[in-house]
Structure 1
Amino acid sequence: MEDVNFPQRLVHVDLKGAPPRMNYYEQIFPIIASMGATGLLVEYEDMFPYHGRFSHLRAPHAYSSEDIAALHTLAATYNLSIIPLIQTFGHFEFILKHDEHRPIREIEHYPNALCPTHPDSFPLVTKLITQVLELHTSDKFLHIGADEVWHIGKCPRCQDYMEDKKMSISEFFLAWMFKVAWWVKKQHPHLTIIMWDDMMRNVTADVLKSSGIGELVEPMVWQYQTANFDLPSDIFSRYSSIFKGLWTASAFKGATGSTQFLPPIQHHINNQLTWKRVLSENKGEIKNFRGIALTGWQRYDHYAVLCELLPVALPSLCLCLRVLTQGSFTESDHDYVSQALGFPHRINVLPFPRPQVVEQGANFPGHKVYVGVQMWSNFVCKYQAISNSEGMLGWFSDYLRSRNFTNPVQVENIMSQVNEVAENLSELRTHLIPWLLEVVYEDTVEEWVGSFIDPLLKKLTSVIEECKTQIMIGGRVRDYKKSDY
């Protein structure tokens, strides 16, 4: 099998959840550069300092223009290029959630995709692109998104337009992307435009050619599986006959579940290895391979909960970069990355099932958050084990408690176990908040704690209070008077 090189190895920085503080970039850039990263694919979403009539799009801790300038300077220090990513069709939630932009939704009730035939859509998209590119004047690439446009051609205006032009959904999609890309090329001819490929993955070569999109963009083929990629057999030959360049995308986090909290590292290592194999097998079909982006999704969409935090996934990222630079994953590769991140042992690439021994002793940036999330996951598993235990199910069921017919001997044992988890979790909360604040902003800390720690603490407290009530009652005669029949 002929080997394949990855000319560009981009680290995707997804800012639509848990955006890092600027000083965290200072800590991790030298690490990821030393591991083989060549650039950053920065998906700003609401973290960009939009101004004027778009000021309302900014998150509370959005980066300033000075921050973005500093990001460029810092990246250049470590020979990292920056590619901004702006969604221009689907995943438009951070804009369409605002009432003033509700009219340009494709489906009025859903904030996912814009309506390409609405007269305000194109001016809005071009103004957003203009503001972003004003702070990226030295960059050579622009990613215009366009993945997972599930709601397309649904509104009456779009349906009338397609019927009038005799267009299929695919042709309609390509027409909008051509319009956006044409405008970008006209205004910024030096830019190479990239877009996600999934919406045109099954479009025929004839339709792609007739759309003209091949002269304007380069597709980024994403796939996060670990064995056999779900890709059309002719995708590489077809794309190479249409487009001037080709990119791929793997994942180092955020691709194995919307509520994932620890990255299954071996899965992501295997994803990189599979990409290497697939590209090697198709090397003869691929012309002008640009490189790969290691995606690190922070939410599945703007409304979803946070998945793996960046500090928790830094070991996964470094191991995946090592795979791409070395072309394999050996024990020496494992040792190299583990030692570079300060682990006194090999990084655990199989963190599930939980609970497991918490990996401590590392000293990479954000390692305390890495430890804290592992501890939290163990406490969750311990509570789940108690909830499903013979004691809880056999002596503390909803039915028995509703009749106040419980044995204090068993209840005291249950309360002791639950109380231990509650105390440990409460103590972790006090430590984890300042650990998180070293890396992310206050609103992210509030969300993570409010999503994952506080609900469990509330549940544990409720069980403890019920235990106290049942112990006070103390082994009563069964109440036969309460009946649901």
Structure 2
Amino acid sequence: MRGFHIDMNTAQFNKPYLKKWLKQLSAMGYDTIIWEIEANVQWNTCPECAAPEAFTKDEFKEIIKLCRSLKMEPIPLFQTLAHCEYVLKYDRYQNLSEEKGTIKQYCPQNPDVLPFVLKWIDEYIELFGKVKYFHIGADETWWLGKCEKCKAYAEKYSLSDLYIDYVNKVVEPLIKKGITPVIWADMALSHPEALKKLSRKIVMFDWIYSVRRGDGEVHIWGEKSGKFDRNEIPQKAMKLFKKYLYPHGFEYGRVPETFYSADYLADNGFDTVTCPGSSSYGDNVFAPRNWYHMTNTFDSFGKGMAKNLCGSVLTSWTVHLHPWELQLACIAMPSFIYKYPGKPIQEYQDYFVNKYFGIKDTAFWQACGLLSIESLFAYTDSLGFSKDCTKVPESYVKDTITKISVENRVSAELENCVERHGEYKEALKLFTKLEKKVKKGKGLIKLWQLMAANLVNRSEAAILLLKNEENVRNDVPFNEQTAREAQKILSEMQKLRNETEKFYLESINPSRVKEYMHWMYDAVEKALKQK
């Protein structure tokens, strides 16, 4: 499997854009598309959740027909446990929630949940037609065991049993229909105690975005999920995964196998697919961490080619807002890996700039790298929005500055913003020079310029707001110069906002673009207007 994940939770793509990219993905050698469409089709099971410009079923069937005609297998992805914010935010469905008043997760012990989910799965199958695979999500179910019923079940058995028993019930009808179920592997790896009970008909999508070969670190799932180096791996994980972490023996000088979990799952009888990411938590909203994602994608796809594994799927989470065009270095990579197995990533970099820009120059990679480190009010957490796609309070940026001040972090944040500002400016200069130098692909370079300019402007806004907070703390009176600087930054921000909005309207439905602009700009603009 050589797949690409289309996430429409946040980015509600329009039909022309999807059709254009399907043709490009097919030309790049992809053979599978994972469709996470959520609220972007007019559903009968949950009509309330449909986005304002949601596809009719006939419109979406046309897109799936094109997907198949391009020799790419469509796999529907429907979240059946967590990541159901787009459903649970409606009062009618609140009774299905794991915890009253929350919208993150269904309750696996609620007798109304399974019939609701299975009915919706049937509607997906009717929409997609005959499918080989069906992805039921089931990742990041961190609220397992919170309600009284689930807590009692987990105490009697285990969280692993609670999770796996529910997943088995969801996939059973699919298996009876001859459809192969797929789940994300993180929760089975976090709670593996009852793994022997999980149906081996399930394909495991083993996603991990933070690792790459050569850094000596591995990701361990569990209560304290995270990256660990050789000497920090928790004892429990070491006991369970040792032979996969150290397939050639545990001794001084050896580093753990980066993608050990894929081998563990395969050895336990699951068809397993490795899943890197071209967009993930920690990215700026204007640009990805290019090298971070490239190395993860390169090594993960290389791992997926192993005989005991079943390929790879590149995920792209649109909650981080930056577009596929800026992820092209990752998206185009698998075709190179399959065509030139064993060649190093540095040769891919040369291949990429020659193919897309007609040049032999490292400046593009240098410029991308200079935009990769996050800065205040340029990434999701610091802008106050997430996958639930709810409105950001007008005072969010102001309140964040106050919180930073109370926690005595103003100096540290200011230092980071000043350093990032210098890097972003240098990147913008490099992209401006590249625009004149490239023989093709000028449009892509101009897009990078636009996003670099956004980051320069955003870091300037953060610096001004932080300096103003310092002045307030030190009883320095407000002055007209600060007001003029704020107005200058705000004017540039509004100009960039208009250009950015124009770009997104080419690919994303208007009502969602309006929300993009709200998430990216509104609270920052509000804070600047108050200066």
Q: Is 1:95 the equivalent of 2:173? A: no
> Aligned-pair distance for 1:313?
2.6
Gaps of 5+ in 1: 1-7, 300-305, 464-485
- Comparing 235-244 and 146-155, the one that deviates more: 235-244
Amino acid at match of 2:131: D
Determine the structure 2 residue equivalent to 1:333: 348
Q: What is the alpha-carbon distance in structure 1 between the residues aligned to residue 443 and residue 15 of structure 2?
A: 13
SS class of match (1:42): strand
CA contact (8 A) 1:379 1:421 kept: yes
Q: What is the alpha-carbon distance in structure 2 between the residues aligned to residue 117 and residue 396 of structure 1?
A: 52
Determine the structure 1 residue equivalent to 2:476: 400
In the TM superposition, what are the counterparts of 1:177-256 in structure 2 within 5 Å?
Answer: 177-186=167-176, 188-189=177-178, 191-204=179-192, 207-209=194-196, 211-214=197-200, 216-226=201-211, 227=215, 228-231=217-220, 232-233=241-242, 234=244, 235-256=261-282
Which of 520, 523, 528 pairs up with 1:452?
520
Gaps of 5+ in 2: 221-240, 245-260, 373-419
Q: What is the alpha-carbon distance in structure 2 between the residues aligned to residue 78 and residue 279 of structure 1?
A: 23
Amino acid at match of 1:382: E
Determine the structure 1 residue equivalent to 2:392: none
Amino acid at match of 2:195: L
Which of 414, 417, 430 pairs up with 2:498?
430
> Aligned-pair distance for 1:250?
0.5
CA contact (8 A) 2:174 2:180 kept: no
Q: Per the alignment, do residues 110 and 14 of structure 1 end up closer, same or farther by CA in structure 2, a change over 3 Å counting?
A: same
**Alignment RMSD:** 3.0
Q: What is the alpha-carbon distance in structure 2 between the residues aligned to residue 338 and residue 423 of structure 1?
A: 34
TM (normalized to structure 1)? 0.78
Q: Is 1:311 the equivalent of 2:387? A: no
CA contact (8 A) 1:366 1:439 kept: no
Q: What is the alpha-carbon distance in structure 1 between the residues aligned to residue 289 and residue 334 of structure 2?
A: 12
- Comparing 438-447 and 377-386, the one that deviates more: 377-386
Deviations 1:396-425 (A, max 9, x none): 8772326xxx5xxxx44x555444333322
CA contact (8 A) 2:160 2:192 kept: no
Q: What is the alpha-carbon distance in structure 2 between the residues aligned to residue 394 and residue 152 of structure 1?
A: 43
Determine the structure 1 residue equivalent to 2:289: 264
In the TM superposition, what are the counterparts of 1:167-178 in structure 2 within 5 Å?
Answer: 167-178=157-168
In the TM superposition, what are the counterparts of 1:366-405 in structure 2 within 5 Å?
Answer: 369-387=447-465, 399-401=475-477
Deviations 1:326-369 (A, max 9, x none): 44444542243234444766543412342333336464887765
Which of 301, 308, 318 pairs up with 1:298?
318
Determine the structure 2 residue equivalent to 1:483: none
Q: What is the alpha-carbon distance in structure 2 between the residues aligned to residue 120 and residue 450 of structure 1?
A: 36
Determine the structure 1 residue equivalent to 2:63: 71
CA contact (8 A) 2:304 2:310 kept: no
In the TM superposition, what are the counterparts of 1:349-360 in structure 2 within 5 Å?
Answer: 349-350=368-369, 351-352=371-372, 353=420, 354-358=424-428, 359=431
Tell me how many residue pairs correspond in the alignment.
426
Determine the structure 2 residue equivalent to 1:476: none
Which of 142, 146, 154 pairs up with 1:154?
146
Greater RCO, 1 or 2 (C-alpha within 8 Å, sep 6+): 1
Amino acid at match of 1:21: N
- Comparing 216-225 and 31-40, the one that deviates more: 31-40
Q: What is the alpha-carbon distance in structure 1 between the residues aligned to residue 110 and residue 472 of structure 2?
A: 59
CA contact (8 A) 1:382 1:421 kept: yes
Percent sequence identity is 20
Q: What is the alpha-carbon distance in structure 2 between the residues aligned to residue 143 and residue 443 of structure 1?
A: 28
> Aligned-pair distance for 1:291?
1.2
CA contact (8 A) 2:273 2:304 kept: no
SS class of match (2:33): strand
Determine the structure 1 residue equivalent to 2:416: none
CA contact (8 A) 1:117 1:158 kept: yes
TM (normalized to structure 2)? 0.72
Determine the structure 1 residue equivalent to 2:394: none
Q: What is the alpha-carbon distance in structure 2 between the residues aligned to residue 156 and residue 396 of structure 1?
A: 48
Q: Is 1:27 the equivalent of 2:20? A: yes
Q: What is the alpha-carbon distance in structure 2 between the residues aligned to residue 10 and residue 236 of structure 1?
A: 17
> Aligned-pair distance for 1:74?
2.3
Q: Per the alignment, do residues 55 and 396 of structure 1 end up closer, same or farther by CA in structure 2, a change over 3 Å counting?
A: closer
Deviations 1:268-304 (A, max 9, x none): 1111233256568xx5xx63x21111111122xxxxx
CA contact (8 A) 1:220 1:249 kept: yes
Q: What is the alpha-carbon distance in structure 2 between the residues aligned to residue 398 and residue 325 of structure 1?
A: 61
CA contact (8 A) 2:301 2:311 kept: no
Q: What is the alpha-carbon distance in structure 2 between the residues aligned to residue 363 and residue 129 of structure 1?
A: 41
